[in-house]
Structure 1
Amino acid sequence: MSVSSIGVLPVAVRALHTGQEVAITGRIDVHSVPDVRLLLHEIIDTGCGDVLMRLADAEIGDATGLGVIVEAYTRARRAGRRLAVIDMTERTGRLLRASRLDRALVLRESAEADTVAAVTA
C-alpha cells in the first residue's frame, strides 16, 4: 500500500490481477488535487488494465475535485486503459450523473474485495 506523504490526502494504491485500484479518502478539492493528480498520473502511466477508483470514503469538494477525475479519465483513455469509479457515496454518484460523467466513466457499485492484494512501496 502506498500513501501520499506530500499533502493532507491519503491515497492508498492496491494491485489487482486485472489492473490497479486506487482508494481515495478525504476531501478532493483545490488543496488536495495536486497530490491526487500526481499519484493518478503515476498509476495510469506505469500500470496496465483497468484503473479502479474507489471513492466510498472521499468527498468531491469543488470543481477541481471533479476536474481531476475527468483528467484521469482522459489520461487513462489515451493510455488505452479504462477508468472505473467504484464504491462511491450517493452524493458522488448524483454529482457524476448530474455532470453527465456517468456517460463517459464506467461506474460500478463495488469490486470484489477478495481479489485485492496489498502492494508495499
Structure 2
Amino acid sequence: MDYEMTVVRLERLDGVSVAHARRELFDAIDRSETDVQLDLAAVEWVDRLGLALLAAAHERAHRRGHHLVVQRAHPRLRRILAVTRLTRVLHLQPA
C-alpha cells in the first residue's frame, strides 16, 4: 500500500510560535500513516521551548511507529541541535 508523504513546514520555533507549531506538528503526526518530514528551511533560531517541541514530536512519532525526519535545517540550527544532542534522536537529512 502506498502512502502520501506528510510534510510540515515551520517558519519559527520559539516561545511566540510554539503553541501553533505544536498543534500543526502533532496533528500531522497523528494523521500520518508514515514518517513525517519536517521542513525547517526557514528556521534559523530555536529557543528552549522549540527544542522541547522537537523532542516531544520525536517521541510522539516514535510511539506511532514513525520517524520525525528533519529536512533542510539551516547550518546554525544544525549546530544548536548538535550542541543539545538532539541529533542523537532526531533523523536529520544531510544538508
Corresponding residue for residue 4 of structure 1 = none
- TM-score of the two chains, using structure 2 as the length reference: 0.89
User: Residue type of the partner of 1:92?
Assistant: L
Q: Is the 8 A contact 2:46 2:77 kept in 1?
A: no
Unaligned runs of 5+ in 1: 1-16, 111-121
Residues 71-82 of structure 1 aligned to structure 2 (within 5 Å)? 71-82=56-67
> How much has 1:18 moved relative to structure 2?
5.2
Summarize deviations over 1:71-101 as a string: whole Å, max 9, x none: 1001000111101111010011001111111
Percent of pairs with identical residues: 34
Structure with the larger strand share? 1
Shift, 1:33, TM fit:
0.3
The structure with the larger Rg is: 1
Match of 2:38, as an amino acid?
M
Looking at structure 2, the residues matched to 74 and 60 of structure 1 have their Cα atoms a distance apart, in angstroms, of 22
- 1:43 equivalent among 8, 22, 28: 28
Matched, 1:108 2:93: yes
The number of equivalent residue pairs is 93
Which structure: greater helix fraction? 2
Measure the CA separation in 1 of the matches of 2:87 and 2:32.
23
